[in-house]
Structure 1
């Protein structure tokens, strides 16, 4: 049996290293993963010549430390996820990479280490996705903590997993203790039973609910809030979490009760209601500005004709030569309609079922009418009015053309080798 041929064709990324760090062999998968040929690697020092790490000294290199520990202990060593950039074969710089690896010593009959086998996995895509998710969660928390409302989130079973900083600032109860159920202490005893009953009904029925309740502040005073819970669903319509918000309506509620109690104050009702409206409108504009400045494209399409009502800068950047507001998608972007996207919008509008597209290619006409490929990830989601009637569609997504182009380049480099 030709063990060399077997080693080179194993379906894992393996490299065979001598105790003095010289490369003795490598599997085909390893060569493909590292963008190298055998001629580039065989006989070279693993860390100093084949894969030098410019940001870490040789003595502090965690790969060297792990290999030498495997040699000393004569036991398999695992290396936690680490960033280890790989120099490009064309000398144009380094690719940022994240790896998982293990080092297994191979010993002779006397127990002396002959070789070390490194098995490595390129987990760059997973780690980048993890970091993107963490960044997205950080942005959500920042936005939620910045809002004047008290925001909380619950899993599908109704268990709390997030309270905004405003909850702690208002009630004086630390977030961790709120998560453990102490939020109940802040609810007025006369409102708590009704609130919990309504919440359990919403969980059972899978429907939104709202209720006026009194919440105690850190000074011991109660104020009226409008408490509302909305279910968040995936593309299949399955509830994946619940979002709760508490809006302070104390001043408005007292105002309305006082005005209704005295006909002499009816003339003041219009001014007070207008003031409350401006306050609500300012909050709406704050949220709108967050979307307008978001690092993703966003628009609102109104009515069954899908007429542009609101777009942010990232969305306009996809069509810099067009005026979109007031026009339908079919009128403004006939090439998009021809690719079936208007039909998808119709389906979302008629059924209320969201549509998610990941890393797809869309042909978009430039100012000269020439079709160009754009690679995007986006979601179409139904937009409802206060009567829960569909009145439009929200579009939210990212332009991933740069990521797609980089992926193609890497594939071309690999195929060229």
Structure 2
């Protein structure tokens, strides 16, 4: 049996050295991996002539240190992952290429126990290590990005096990990333007990259906107080869409807006209650309604009422009119007044609120408006709420719109960040 030929054809990377580190033989797989022929390396010193590294001195070369341990102990030595620069042959362009290797050195002893040969078995893991480095760079970029935005950002598994939280989440909750990522950590303690059942239900539905959703919920801060957040949860699917790889969540603080809107909604509810008493005291109720309407018309926030499924303007105060000063509103539909918002998705949002009754809250979003009816779109940053309005039979009749413009503060913030 031709054992030398069998050795040459072995599918693994083997090279045989003498005790003084002279190359004696190598498998074809090894030669192919290292861009060499057997004539290039046979009879040469393994490290000084065949495979010198441009960054290591001979005495500090990690391969030499491993070989020295084999000579000293006559035991197999497994090297840690090593980065090595291998010289390219002249016909390959010369120079060096960086590679990563895992290797072991096995002594072969004669009958008297003397070291006769050393067999090096190596595996080129360059692709794996470069992929790992790329992933680490991507994760660092993701972490940097999420730490600079104002939202609380986190990721978790389909089993709702937290896998990442950004620094703003840590600062707000007072819980470190190390604590949050521990298997025994109970994330439910951060959510307000009244909101928790709905949060869990929506999460389970999103995971089962592989669909994103958004909702409002109260989160506890490091002082034990709760604030309202608008949370968006997005499952990230595998390439074929068959499973969820991870789930990304972001939460925007809407506490101040929520309280302001609630005050306006409370006022609207009071107006509705007064209307119910019109048969008992029409004159008094009408007077109060008109007073409330005057307050709305003069309110420091923009306000309007959209009637019916086509979203026709029934009422708009001066602040709302200032957003589009050169356009007639009352009696016209939103799409007739500002058709440009349809491509921006706002008509679809209005339709959803009217059809489902689900409140929609936006915080500092960019809306492009033909403000002066001249075909030129202007960038407006707005924070607002779409709230469904109901009749006595709890049927949706229209949408209450309330909010305020934040363009000036957002542009100032962007200029300071720039």
**TM-score, length of structure 2 as denominator length:** 0.63
Q: 1:111 aligns with which of 113, 130, 147?
A: 113
Q: Hey, what does 1:19 align to over in structure 2? A: 19
Q: Hey, what does 1:389 align to over in structure 2? A: none
Q: 1:163 aligns with which of 162, 165, 178?
A: 165
> SS of the residue aligned with 1:105?
strand
Q: 1:214 aligns with which of 210, 218, 228?
A: 218
Q: Hey, what does 2:405 align to over in structure 1? A: none
Displacement of 1:73 in angstroms is 2.2
Q: Hey, what does 2:139 align to over in structure 1? A: 137
The answer (yes or no) to whether the contact 1:24–1:43 under 8 Å persists in 2 is: yes
Distance 1:73 1:28 in 2: 29
1:28-39 alignment, distance < 5 Å: 28-39=28-39
1:285-296 alignment, distance < 5 Å: none
Displacement of 1:44 in angstroms is 0.9
The answer (yes or no) to whether the contact 2:254–2:363 under 8 Å persists in 1 is: no
Moved more, 177-186 or 22-31: 177-186
Displacement of 1:182 in angstroms is 4.7
Q: CA RMSD in A?
A: 2.4
Distance 1:88 1:125 in 2: 18
Q: Hey, what does 1:367 align to over in structure 2? A: none
1:154-193 alignment, distance < 5 Å: 154-180=156-182, 181-193=185-197
Distance 1:30 1:67 in 2: 18
Displacement of 1:165 in angstroms is 1.2
Matched, 1:279 2:279: no
**Structure 2: 5+ residue runs without aligned partners?**
268-291, 303-318, 324-360, 369-418
Q: Hey, what does 2:155 align to over in structure 1? A: 153
Distance 1:166 1:183 in 2: 16
The answer (yes or no) to whether the contact 1:158–1:203 under 8 Å persists in 2 is: no
Matched, 1:251 2:256: yes
Distance 1:38 1:107 in 2: 24
**TM-score, length of structure 1 as denominator length:** 0.63
Matched, 1:58 2:90: no
The answer (yes or no) to whether the contact 2:55–2:85 under 8 Å persists in 1 is: no
- Structure 2 CA distance for partners of 1:235 and 1:176, relative to 1, 3 Å: same
Matched, 1:96 2:181: no
Displacement of 1:277 in angstroms is 6.4
Matched, 1:40 2:40: yes
The answer (yes or no) to whether the contact 2:108–2:117 under 8 Å persists in 1 is: yes
Displacement of 1:5 in angstroms is 2.2
Larger Cα-atom Rg: 2
The answer (yes or no) to whether the contact 2:151–2:253 under 8 Å persists in 1 is: yes
Q: Deviations over 1:338-393 (max 9, x none)?
A: xxxxxxxxxxxxxxxxxxxxxxxxxxxxxxxxxxxxxxxxxxxxxxxxxxxxxxxx
Displacement of 1:85 in angstroms is 0.6
Displacement of 1:106 in angstroms is 0.8
**Structure 1: 5+ residue runs without aligned partners?**
285-417
The answer (yes or no) to whether the contact 1:81–1:99 under 8 Å persists in 2 is: yes
Distance 1:24 1:179 in 2: 52
The answer (yes or no) to whether the contact 1:211–1:228 under 8 Å persists in 2 is: yes
> SS of the residue aligned with 2:57?
coil
